[in-house]
Amino acid sequence: MTTTTRLLILDDDPLTGQTIANIATMAGVEARYVDEPSAFFQQVRDWQPDFIALDLIMPRMDGVQVMVELARLGCHAEIIISSGVGGRVLDAAARSAAEHGLNIAGVLAKPFSPARLRAMLKHSNSTDNQTGTAPVIGDTASAFDNDISRQDLVNALENKQITLVYQPKINCRTGLLAGFEALARWNHPRHGPVGPDRFIPLAERYGLIDTLTESVMVQGLRWLSQLPTQLDSSPEFDYLRRRLREITLSINISASSLNNIDLFERMDEYCQSTGIRPDRLIFELTESCAMEDPISSLDILTRLRMKGFHLSIDDFGTGYSSMLQLARLPFSEIKIDKSFVMTAAESKESRTVIKTIIDLGHGLGLYTSAEGIERDETLEYLRSIGCDLAQGYAIARPMPPDVVLDWLRKGRLTDESRRLQVLHSLNILDTPPDERFDRITRLAARLFRVPIALFTLVDANRQWFKSSIGLDVPETARDISFCTYAIEHEEVMVIPDATINPTFKNNPLVLQDPHIRFYAGCPVHADTGSRLGTLCLIDREPREFSRHDEAVLRHAAQMIENELTADFLAHADPLTNMLNRRGFDARAQEAIALCHDADLQACLFLFDLVDFKSFNGRHGPAAGDRALIEFSRLLRETFRGSDLIARYGDDDFVVLMVDIDPLGPQAALNRLRAVARAIAQPHPVSYNSGWSLLEPDDGSVQQLILRASDRMHSEDR
């Protein structure tokens, strides 16, 4: 037929190319598909297509270059730009093509809408027999699978037959619950249970994966937000309930859904409506999915990270990825494929692969996670080589929601002997002072302006002070301790004036040193829920303590609990002994929440050593290390023990000052300058600084860092 419209497709992904060709053929258009530029230009010259569908971003060729070349050839074909990049990028590409004198028929964003493609082709199409009768792509694809049709899957989604099970993920070192992974399940009325390995690829092929992903997200988020309230309302679950408000949920994302910006916009909205912080969600992408199209991946993944979501590379070790790409892409976790983990016990090769991936992950500052742990000895091995997170049948199988609840309840502990067992298993009694807890007791003493603040642990016959401000005895007998009473309840125990309280008025701690008048103690829990001791405030004067004060104290006690469960090894910078970025981010978030709660001012400082790379070059890496250590010392001496100080990047440092100096940020910077002058350094490095004050609507520390960095750069100029 001489009048038939001709469409030439250039796409380096055969599935996409073929999909477009099928839709076009269905619409009565003659379509040819090529996957590399030289064949493409040959066809442009010899076949003279009316339309060209062009993928702009292809890993092995440059789509923009192809457009420039088409313009040079004086090509008159109408160009349809197809790509997975975001609308803005596509629009810019379309504009630039138009400026080169090419005719642009339109932009076809992934996932492809057959109707949209047909509309574009019809635009100047001479054959008009296709209207309304062209089957959609799914029907052509149904031949791919023998018994599950597209309609089956559509029905399943509409009738909510696709549900979720949840598999716990624990912290390897501490054994604590870190989060869950949501896994899709389909119970088909005729076929019975269908595995995700089967229906996920079908959903991808039938163009239903985005609907499926969205349904998974909606179900998962609702489940996560309701989980704490599903537990019995008795106070013994209070602590567990609070922990459950912090855990993460991992969701699997197919490569094709990654391009669906709208989906993630909606995800953002679901997070807001369910009250889940985006940083509690981890999107798991397979290695190949992220590497398929590194340029657009970078764009999309960066945007997701900017929204606060975490990203994990799933099944790591089974695909191919360039180290460079891996380092460039903003992942937070690397998940070792279960094929290595399941065989770790027998196979030395598997263990080598696992160890290598863990070292690689840590080298890149990522959390490392292993799945497919079927034996306790594998978990032990992973712990010994420093793996961060663990998932597998040996810990728990994927479970439907009601079974998850039973599993959680089983972990709870109540009675005193279990409480002591837990306390002793923490190996924290009679250990040296620890800056991590001292920071918080100092903060509590500052905030409430009390002379004494303690983190106490209630042992069988004594209370021992893990951190103590304003008191120099290491312990007191349990039978006279206030904290023994405070750990009997969940509530903050407040004694405004001990001298008139029937229980305490004859207590030796009231009658003699330290002459307690006022006491407020909030229980501190182990992750099992056991009340280990308290964070308490003591004054020698009577005092009132408001509900609001109680909330602030509870918040500080939670900071202690978080320190108890935090994985300090993963949070410290070995060179300077300061917190690293991960450690800072985790704590800064709490500190900001506390400031909002307590209506306190906070200030974030950012420091960047000037030309540190060339400093290293001039003086050698050992001098570079010394300079970093010196700088960290400088910060420690300048700022207060209650501030959060961290090495944030190679040569970047941050400080979060809670309850800022009345003299303001500038006073702190002046102090820093003075201390710097007082310390004699062999090769002093200069630094740039920037700061920003906490504002009422700051939700994340990143906002403060951005503003501080803007200020730093504007002062640069």
Of 250 and 616, the one with the shorter C-beta distance to ligand C2E is 250
Burial of 642 (0-12, 13-18, 19+ CB in 10 A): buried
Q: According to the binding rule CB under 6 A, does residue 183 interact with ligand C2E?
A: yes
Q: How far is the CB of 597 from ligand C2E (least distance, A)?
A: 36
Say if CB 289 and CB 312 are below 8 A apart. no
Question: What Å distances lie between residue 547 and 514, 540, 643, CA to CA?
Answer: 26, 21, 25
370's enclosing H/E stretch is strand 367-371
Q: According to the binding rule CB under 6 A, does residue 216 interact with ligand C2E?
A: yes
Q: According to the binding rule CB under 6 A, does residue 200 interact with ligand C2E?
A: yes
- Exactly one of 12, 284, 388, 630 binds Ca ion (CB under 5 A); that residue is 284
Provide the 10 A C-beta neighbour count for residue 671: 15
Of 189 and 195, the one with the shorter C-beta distance to ligand C2E is 195
The candidate with the shortest Cα–Cα distance to 260, out of 91, 425, 31, 85, is 85
- Exactly one of 142, 211, 254, 350 binds ligand C2E (CB under 6 A); that residue is 254
Say if CB 225 and CB 274 are below 8 A apart. yes
Phi/psi-derived region of residue 325, left when phi > 0, alpha when psi is between -120 and 50, beta in every other case? alpha
| Beta bridge partners of residue 186, listed in sequence order | 162, 194
Of 368 and 530, the one with the shorter C-beta distance to Ca ion is 368
List the x/- string, 150-179, binding to ligand C2E by CB under 6 A: -----------------x------------
Q: What is the DSSP secondary-structure string of 633-661? A: HHHHHHS-TTSEEEE-SSSEEEEEEES--
Residue nearest to Ca ion (CB): 284
- Exactly one of 11, 279, 293, 315 binds Ca ion (CB under 5 A); that residue is 315
Residues contacting 36, CB < 8 A, separation 6+:
12, 60, 61
User: Terminus-to-terminus CA distance in the chain, angstroms?
Assistant: 67
| Beta bridge partners of residue 104, listed in sequence order | 79
Handedness of CA 679, 680, 681, 686 (dihedral sign): positive
Which of positions 68-107 make contact with ligand C2E (CB under 6 A)?
A: none
Q: According to the binding rule CB under 5 A, does residue 287 interact with Ca ion?
A: no
Number of chain positions touching Ca ion (CB under 5 A) = 4
Of 293 and 314, the one with the shorter C-beta distance to Ca ion is 314
* Residue 189: contacted member of Ca ion, ligand C2E, none (CB under 5 to 8 Å, by partner type): none
Q: How far is the CB of 379 from ligand C2E (least distance, A)?
A: 10
Q: According to the binding rule CB under 6 A, does residue 600 interact with ligand C2E?
A: no
Q: How far apart are CA 400 and CA 409, in angstroms?
A: 15
Q: According to the binding rule CB under 6 A, does residue 197 interact with ligand C2E?
A: yes
Of 18-26, 171-179, 369-377, 631-639, which segment contacts ligand C2E by CB under 6 A?
369-377
* Residue 200: contacted member of Ca ion, ligand C2E, none (CB under 5 to 8 Å, by partner type): ligand C2E
Which of positions 377-416 make contact with ligand C2E (CB under 6 A)?
A: 391-393, 398
* Residue 398: contacted member of ligand C2E, Ca ion, none (CB under 5 to 8 Å, by partner type): ligand C2E
Q: According to the binding rule CB under 6 A, does residue 374 interact with ligand C2E?
A: yes
* Residue 374: contacted member of ligand C2E, Ca ion, none (CB under 5 to 8 Å, by partner type): ligand C2E
Say if CB 8 and CB 47 are below 8 A apart. yes
- Exactly one of 118, 243, 305, 338 binds ligand C2E (CB under 6 A); that residue is 338
Of 208 and 458, the one with the shorter C-beta distance to ligand C2E is 208
Of 284 and 652, the one with the shorter C-beta distance to ligand C2E is 284
SS3 121: helix
SS3 320: coil
Q: How far is the CB of 177 from ligand C2E (least distance, A)?
A: 16
Q: How far is the CB of 182 from ligand C2E (least distance, A)?
A: 6
Sheet with 103-109: strands ordered across:
30-34, 6-10, 51-55, 78-83, 103-109
In the block, residue with structure tokens 């679901």: 270
Of 196 and 386, the one with the shorter C-beta distance to ligand C2E is 196
Of 366-374, 540-548, 612-620, 689-697, which segment contacts ligand C2E by CB under 6 A?
366-374
* Residue 378: contacted member of ligand C2E, Ca ion, none (CB under 5 to 8 Å, by partner type): none
Q: According to the binding rule CB under 5 A, does residue 252 interact with Ca ion?
A: yes
Q: According to the binding rule CB under 5 A, does residue 388 interact with Ca ion?
A: no
The candidate with the shortest Cα–Cα distance to 167, out of 332, 452, 392, is 392
Say if CB 224 and CB 195 are below 8 A apart. no
Handedness of CA 305, 307, 309, 313 (dihedral sign): negative
270's enclosing H/E stretch is helix 261-274
Across 324-461, the runs of DSSP E, i.e. the strands, are: 333-336, 367-371, 389-391, 452-458
Q: What is the DSSP secondary-structure string of 589-600? A: HHHHHHHHHHT-
Of 339 and 666, the one with the shorter C-beta distance to ligand C2E is 339
List the x/- string, 292-321, binding to ligand C2E by CB under 6 A: ----------------------xx------
Q: How far apart are CA 347 and CA 313, in angstroms?
A: 23
* Residue 364: contacted member of ligand C2E, Ca ion, none (CB under 5 to 8 Å, by partner type): none
Q: How far apart are CA 231 and CA 411, in angstroms?
A: 13
List of residues contacting ligand C2E (CB under 6 A): 167, 183-184, 195-197, 200, 213, 216, 252-254, 284, 314-315, 338, 342, 371-374, 391-393, 398
List of residues contacting Ca ion (CB under 5 A): 252, 284, 314-315
